Amino acid sequence: MSLKFVFFASKYIFTNMNNNPLNRIKVVLAEKQRTSKWLDEQLGVTPATVRKWCTNTSQPDLQTLAQIVDLFNCDNRDLITSKKEL
pLDDT score recorded for residue 32? 94
State pLDDT tens for residues 23-82.
899 999 999 999 999 999 999 999 999 999 999 889 999 999 999 999 999 998 888 865
Report the Cα 48 to chain-centroid distance in Å.
14
pTM to 2 decimal places:
0.69
State pLDDT tens for residues 35-48.
999 999 999 999 99
> Which CATH architecture best describes the domain 23-85?
Orthogonal Bundle (1.10)
Q: Inform me whether the pLDDT recorded for 4 exceeds 90.
A: no
User: 21 — phi, psi (to 5°)?
Assistant: -65, 145
